[in-house]
Structure 1
């Protein structure tokens, strides 16, 4: 039996990407299709989405909903792989350039509740045959933007007496909860009693994320360790009680890497190709990176790379405090990303004082991200919390040893280069336990110590590159979950 699954999300790589969510939504449905499922995706009709799809055909007229008129549903395909994508055409809600969530002043759009209620509502309609030719058995919603899908399906089930589809909600980052003022609840078209502590109500407001957690049949998150962490007061974001109550419905399934995109043997964006047995190309990537950032051309300098949002969540305040250690030991650091102005300024000041050792560039560009991952010796991901993290998985594939805080998906994917782990042929990077500058500094010193032992360093590099975090195993686990529900 072929299982029909609709993935509901706000972004999808390569059409639109603001973070790791897009990578997952771009890679998981094709991986499920390879295993024999019939997986499709529903997205809001943002300009980049509409422009990037081929063969767009009208599917259904929706009319006036959530303050938008002449809304319709269209269906197209992703040119790269033929993935079927449904798009909500609602110009007044979605036809805005730039960031899909924020205006030019970086303030969330005032009508985000309506914009993403439309996404959840349409998913529920597709499950009830809005497309006469196809309806899903599983509606798989991702993050708060799609959180209302299961609430609308639950409301429809109450009306018709049977569920139109079973629902799964995946939390990619519990810190983003889609919280809106309670007075907007009336615009959602949900039954009045859904605004309740057992429902979408969240400390007097409403939360789309909570709706997804409460009304879905199953909850998943993006690593086994994060699934445990979000049931604690420290990392539960006010939802730990609900998550603990539903712990039997909650599982952690690690995100995968799309190795067709992240593979040093074939990557067209990097200076030279290389493999785990022939690493000469990696040296060429390092030289090219030092040139690109005007760092001292020293092949033996230990080069640390950061590709990240520059925020406290990502532990960049910790790295800033530990930077003197890297400089003192003759290391180098390349930082690429944007975020908190105070962190941006702090890093730029160090770069101005030590231009031969530290370089900072603000922005985001997929090509440069690949070049930094390939050219660095170490990729630092010192996050305060990290649901899964993809950067450390890319780093492993490129033999750039990840330096990580033991938390969330970072704890599940990187093995510390302690003496015993090196001896047992297990080490793949550097892991620090406590979230404090001293612990990070100690891990940085371990990286320098291993780098001085060339044979052990190369062995650890090769071991890192042989790790397999492809989507195959994770897609199998999602498919097993779908089968259980259907």
Structure 2
């Protein structure tokens, strides 16, 4: 089975979010299922110079390079005029969207469609797997083309908040069939909808958790596309993301003060002490050290944490936070750290080292998001024996077993959930976490369960392999 992954970013080469982690890890896991996945992505600055990169096809405005790097087989779309420029994949140095983004990612989608139909360098895929709006036009381009042979296609939605909506005046310039500019096609409220085009034209649609798949058919979460998705409900499936177990491995993590395993989890205390020192905290032994890593935005529920911070501190707990985001929230946490020295520590920024130390040293990892398609932070927490405290939404609801009375009795709790996503419910969950922490036997059970949870890509890769096989066989 051969699969072409068409993505706009892929770790460790280029990363702005979770899509890159999936693109970098899932193909490796698929190999164990007998699936040969090649990752097509733009040749951003420096990538065309990767050792061993060889041209395998001429493309509109450039060429396609093949190279193996970091355990991945890459197909790099080398169009310097579109992709070899300073700034990020989507934003310029000024922090604004590149004005030619519709042309950049239409070119990537056309290249993916061409390789899907005709192959490249003696390799032709059996399935085309596109991700998010940046490559969502590929199934449509594949249908429009008469060259070669079309193959089944899968579209994965990582976050429906990003849809790739552009003016209708670009229809001709993007090479789109004008007859498809209808409510049943790629038209989206009078504009071109890249993601909508994928939703309409892909053979199957997946997203990154079962709960998020259900949520996307609802007005609250569908962001204008809920009707389109509901109409394709029979072709929609939620497949949980996983984490790279080599990168996130507490037994061999160089960022930790003391690597540990489930059998040596007592060594976590050294990481707790190291984390406290880095954040200027003096945590109590009888109260949890809460940690948060992420964007400081309302979508991530950070305003709820600010509102419940007095309740957390009243329980004798402490908080370590690392992230960037809205200026007012950054300022609020700086002020909280100043007002509560030794109890609240905030690093406004990002550090991979601190992110790992947070997972290995915090007692509880907070993920109070208002919506979260899958989430990776809670999976890292489980892997590192920190109890995730999460909002009951999306993948958070699917991956954390709440320490309610039934789960405690059954001995299967791995963390804490709260609903509705409001400050009062978050405060109640904070209290439950503090109560559980004071029961040493219960806490030991929760952390042991967390570390035993399956958070790798194995099960999800098997599900995707089955999906590909089904599409090819039908």
Contact 2:260 2:268 in 1 (8 A): yes
Structure 2 residue matching 1:134: 3-state secondary structure: coil
Q: Cα offset for 1:384?
A: 0.3
User: Is the aligned partner of 1:12 residue 2:21?
Assistant: no
Q: Which residue of 1 aligns with 2:452?
A: 466
Q: Cα offset for 1:419?
A: 2.5
Q: Aligned equivalents of 2:88 and 2:304: distance in 1?
A: 28
Q: Which residue of 2 aligns with 1:21?
A: 19
Contact 1:16 1:48 in 2 (8 A): no
Structure 1 residue matching 2:220: 3-state secondary structure: coil
Contact 1:60 1:74 in 2 (8 A): yes
The answer to which of 4-13 and 350-359 deviates more is 350-359
Q: How many residues align?
A: 472
Q: Aligned equivalents of 2:297 and 2:203: distance in 1?
A: 34
Could you tell me the TM-score, scaled by structure 2's length? 0.97
Q: Cα offset for 1:50?
A: 3.8
User: Is the aligned partner of 1:100 residue 2:89?
Assistant: yes
Which aligned pairs between 1:17-166 and structure 2 lie closer than 5 A?
Answer: 17-47=15-45, 49-50=47-48, 53-64=50-61, 71-78=62-69, 80-81=70-71, 83-129=72-118, 131-156=120-145, 159=146, 163-166=149-152
User: Is the aligned partner of 1:447 residue 2:433?
Assistant: yes
Q: Cα offset for 1:303?
A: 0.9
Structure 1: unaligned runs, 5 residues or longer: 65-70
Contact 2:286 2:438 in 1 (8 A): no
Q: Which residue of 2 aligns with 1:346?
A: 332
User: Is the aligned partner of 1:176 residue 2:162?
Assistant: yes
RMSD: 1.4
Q: Aligned equivalents of 1:108 and 1:276: distance in 2?
A: 45
Q: Aligned equivalents of 2:277 and 2:88: distance in 1?
A: 31
Could you tell me the TM-score, scaled by structure 1's length? 0.94
Contact 1:304 1:380 in 2 (8 A): yes
Q: Aligned equivalents of 2:418 and 2:51: distance in 1?
A: 46
Contact 1:373 1:398 in 2 (8 A): yes
Which aligned pairs between 1:313-462 and structure 2 lie closer than 5 A?
Answer: 313-462=299-448
Q: Aligned equivalents of 1:342 and 1:186: distance in 2?
A: 43
Q: Cα offset for 1:163?
A: 4.6
Structure 1 residue matching 2:262: 3-state secondary structure: coil
Choose from 202, 218, 221 the match for 1:232: 218
Q: Cα offset for 1:125?
A: 1.1
Contact 1:232 1:240 in 2 (8 A): yes
Structure 2 residue matching 1:296: 3-state secondary structure: coil
Structure 2: unaligned runs, 5 residues or longer: none
Q: Aligned equivalents of 1:399 and 1:417: distance in 2?
A: 15
Q: Aligned equivalents of 1:385 and 1:61: distance in 2?
A: 42
How has the CA–CA distance of structure 1 residues 30 and 60 changed in structure 2, closer, same or farther, with 3 Å as cutoff?
same
Contact 2:389 2:429 in 1 (8 A): yes
